[in-house]
């Protein structure tokens, strides 16, 4: 089927700020594979909707935007119509809107095929919420990456402060918990571990340890 016939996929799903993005990029780099940041597609749709002043409750209009995104990922950056929007995508309000529009069925359907199009040899590391459950259900390795909310809020706080962006730890924690709640309780493709996923708790692990753990699981499958 899809994931095994074209190229292998490692899916890395988990809640916001669990380190999925960094871990996925480093695992992909080590294996020489492509990486899919599926959350960026939801964030891009949200960003384009705000910029085009599209009604963010109009599900069909948002799905049309999602289908038409002229996006390209290269050199660790995300380009929309030739503009580097990497920073713009990280804005908290874009993340919050992305999580809202991710509950709309037409938007998820519009992005499904686009996500599968990222699959190419020699392999793909797919980072998101429903990579193992919906987008690549036959992936040979599925990781469900978790970390306690306090650790995740602290990581995000540190990232923002390092970038010179002011932040408030308790606001970040509250936002992250609200997003977790919305992602896990939505009717469509809720955030959850696939039945055959390996749950990895990174609360007390460094990025390097987490990456090595994923690579060890991948190596174990090969033997």
Q: Contact 69/44 with Cβ under 8 angstroms?
A: yes
Q: Could you tell me which stretch among 1-9, 74-82, 91-99, 192-200 binds ligand C5P (CB under 6 A)? A: 91-99
33 versus 152: smaller Cβ distance to ligand C5P: 152
Sheet holding 71-74, edge to edge: 71-74, 77-80, 83-84
Query: Taking CB under 6 A as the rule, which mask of x and - marks residues 17-56 in contact with ligand C5P?
Result: ---------------------xx--xx-------------
Rounded distance between C-alpha atoms, residue 134 and residue 142, angstroms: 12
Neighbours of 10 (CB within 10 A): 29
Check binding of 156 to ligand C5P (CB under 6 A).
Answer: no
CB of 5 to ligand C5P, least distance (A): 22
Check binding of 99 to ligand C5P (CB under 6 A).
Answer: yes
Residues touching ligand C5P: how many (CB under 6 A)?
14
CB of 128 to ligand C5P, least distance (A): 3
Check binding of 152 to ligand C5P (CB under 6 A).
Answer: no
CB of 41 to ligand C5P, least distance (A): 7
Which 158-187 positions form the footprint of ligand C5P (CB under 6 A)?
179, 183
Q: Contact 219/31 with Cβ under 8 angstroms?
A: no
Check binding of 95 to ligand C5P (CB under 6 A).
Answer: yes
- Structure-token pair, residue 205: 């692990």
Check binding of 139 to ligand C5P (CB under 6 A).
Answer: no
95 versus 123: smaller Cβ distance to ligand C5P: 95
Q: Contact 120/8 with Cβ under 8 angstroms?
A: no
Residue 144's region, left for phi above 0, alpha for psi from -120 to 50, else beta, is beta
Q: Is the dihedral of CA 208, 209, 212, 218 positive or negative?
A: negative
Rounded distance between C-alpha atoms, residue 51 and residue 62, angstroms: 12
Check binding of 14 to ligand C5P (CB under 6 A).
Answer: no
Q: Could you tell me which stretch among 60-68, 123-131, 141-149, 209-217 binds ligand C5P (CB under 6 A)? A: 123-131
Rounded distance between C-alpha atoms, residue 174 and residue 189, angstroms: 23
Q: Which positions lie near ligand C5P, rule CB under 6 A?
A: 16, 38-39, 42-43, 95, 98-99, 102, 128-130, 179, 183
């Amino acid at each position: 089927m899809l994931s095994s016939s074209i190229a292998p996929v490692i899916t890395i799903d988990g809640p916001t700020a669990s380190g999925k993005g960094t871990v996925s990029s480093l695992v992909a780099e080590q294996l020489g594979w492509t990486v899919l940041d599926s959350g960026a597609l939801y964030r891009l749709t949200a960003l384009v909707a705000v910029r085009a002043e599209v009604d963010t409750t109009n599900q069909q209009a948002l799905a049309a935007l999602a289908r038409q995104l002229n996006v390209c990922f290269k050199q660790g950056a995300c380009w929309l119509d030739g503009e580097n929007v990497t920073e713009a995508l990280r804005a908290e309000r874009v993340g919050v809107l992305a999580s809202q529009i991710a509950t709309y069925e037409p938007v998820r359907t519009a992005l499904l095929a686009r996500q599968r199009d990222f699959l190419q040899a020699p392999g793909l590391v797919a980072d998101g919420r429903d990579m193992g459950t919906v987008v690549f259900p036959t992936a040979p390795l599925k990781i469900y990456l978790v970390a306690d909310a306090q650790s995740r809020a602290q990581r995000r706080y540190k990232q923002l402060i390092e970038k010179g962006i002011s932040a408030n730890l308790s606001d970040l924690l509250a936002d992250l918990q609200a997003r977790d709640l919305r992602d896990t309780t939505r009717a469509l493709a809720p955030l959850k571990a696939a039945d055959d996923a390996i749950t990895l708790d990174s609360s007390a692990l460094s990025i390097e340890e987490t990456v090595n753990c994923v690579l060890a699981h991948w190596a174990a499958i090969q033997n």
